[in-house]
Amino acid sequence: MSDTPSTRQAVHYEQAEMLDGEDLRRHFLIEQLMVPGRLTATYTHYDRMLVMGAVPTDAPLVVGEDLAKLVGSATLLERRELGLINVGGAGRVTADGTVYEVGSQDALYLGKGIAAVSFASADPANPAKFYINSSPAHAAHPSRLVTKAQALVKELGAPETSNRRTLSQYLHPEVLPTCQLLMGLTRLHSGSVWNTMPAHTHDRRMEAY
């Protein structure tokens, strides 16, 4: 089952400086991303990024016409690419009849032009939790599963500064071609408290966490 997608408008930094805590959460925080048995979606006016969460339980979750309508196309990926990382139990993604077995901490890239996409769990009692990003694409690149072992791994930070972490880069130019979508997974080490705060911006990219 899919929830009704929500839309977030872009906020200028001068406006953001005047927002209180409640308004900052309303504009920037997606509080219900991983909901058992549902596919949730938030469309943002930041680079037209689509942030989704899929937690299939008893039945597969299908990408439907509501998401295609949201981005103004016949199918969601008619003019977009999609990447996901599974942060739950073993899962399965079916894309135009091709089945990808996506294990825990594996990733999947689906290229522009894929018409039919669905998500399922190998064990509904231990469901997959697919963290999904989608962005506009100008070219079609091959879809590909990227396992945890195939990701680029970088060790960052140090225990002395409480920010020791392992970054696994899945959708990265050294791993596979994409149009503009990059995705990775950061795992904190014991005693480390690294996060994205204080909030900051980048001139050449948009980030979703």
Query: Higher model confidence: residue 8 or residue 66?
Result: 66
Total domains, the chain: 1
pLDDT (tens digit, 9 = 90+) per residue, 148-173?
Answer: 999 999 999 999 999 999 999 999 99
- Does residue 147 contact residue 175 with C-beta atoms inside 8 Å? no
- Does residue 101 contact residue 129 with C-beta atoms inside 8 Å? no
Average pLDDT over residues 4-11: 84
CA dist., res. 92 & res. 62, Å (int): 12
The predicted pLDDT at position 24 comes to: 87
In a domain, 161, yes or no: no
In a domain, 128, yes or no: yes
pLDDT (tens digit, 9 = 90+) per residue, 33-76?
Answer: 999 999 999 999 888 999 999 999 999 999 999 999 999 999 99
In a domain, 83, yes or no: yes
Which residues lie closer than 8 Å to 176 by C-beta, 6 or more apart? 109, 141, 142, 144, 146
The predicted pLDDT at position 124 comes to: 94
- Residue 200 predicted with pLDDT over 80: no
- Taking the whole predicted model, whether its pTM rises above 0.85 is answered as yes
pLDDT (tens digit, 9 = 90+) per residue, 100-124?
Answer: 999 999 999 999 999 999 999 999 9
In a domain, 209, yes or no: no
Reading the block at residue 27, the tokens are 């504009």
Query: Which residue segment(s) compose the domain that 79 sits in?
Result: 6-140
pLDDT (tens digit, 9 = 90+) per residue, 68-104?
Answer: 999 999 999 999 999 999 999 999 999 999 999 999 9
In a domain, 73, yes or no: yes
Q: 106: domain CATH number?
A: 2.60.120.10
The predicted pLDDT at position 55 comes to: 98
CA dist., res. 77 & res. 114, Å (int): 6
Query: Higher model confidence: residue 207 or residue 51?
Result: 51
In a domain, 166, yes or no: no
In a domain, 174, yes or no: no
CA dist., res. 68 & res. 35, Å (int): 21
In a domain, 44, yes or no: yes
Chain-centre distance for alpha carbon 143 = 16
Which segment, 12-26, 97-111, 185-199, is predicted with the most confidence on average?
A: 97-111
- Residue 2 predicted with pLDDT over 70: no
**Banded pLDDT at 127 (limits 50, 70, 90):** very high
CA-based R_g, the chain, Å: 17
- Residue 190 predicted with pLDDT over 90: yes
